[in-house]
Amino acid sequence: MSRKLQFQIIGILGGTAVALGAFGSHGFKEILVQNGYTEVFQTANRYHFYHIFALALISVLPQNKITRVAFWCFLVGILIFSGSLYVLALTQIKVLGAITPVGGIAFIIGWLLVGLSIKDAPNYALASLSKDKLQS
């Protein structure tokens, strides 16, 4: 996946996170309170936002197989973890809670892969600085 496409996905998911957060606070507020799922919706939105930043981090790291898989893990995590919680909070379809942990596992794997992917990052970052830049 190209970096351009990665950032397009991040932009769409970021905008979606903001919109859903606003709807959760205003447009969906009554149904969320009535269903008793306001906190569930807020959790979905919080994790949605956290992992937008994780996607951005992965997109600026040197690209390799590990970072590509981590990107997909975070993307799948947002869709399954946050997506199932959003729908659960709005519809009370409780069976969706059974798939939520699959998204959580995707997040965990993504973060573990971030740790693996940056083992060479300090060398990469230092190599990009010339002596002149370090002295100024």
| Domain region containing 34 | 3-135
Q: What is the pLDDT of residues 83-96, one digit of tens each?
A: 999 999 988 888 98
pLDDT of residue 81: 97
The Cα–Cα gap between 93 and 82 comes to 14
pLDDT of residue 124: 53
Q: What is the pLDDT of residues 20-44, one digit of tens each?
A: 988 778 878 888 888 888 898 899 9
In terms of pTM, does the model score above 0.85?
no
Q: Domains in the chain: how many in total?
A: 1
Amino acid at 129: L
Alpha helices of the chain — where are they, by DSSP H? Answer: 3-25, 29-35, 38-60, 65-77, 83-91, 100-117, 121-127, 131-135
- On whether the CB atoms of residues 76 and 64 are closer than 8 A, the answer is no
**How confident is the model over 45-68, as a mean pLDDT?**
92
pLDDT of residue 126: 44
Instruction: Choose among 30, 24, 35, 21: nearest CA to 91.
Output: 35
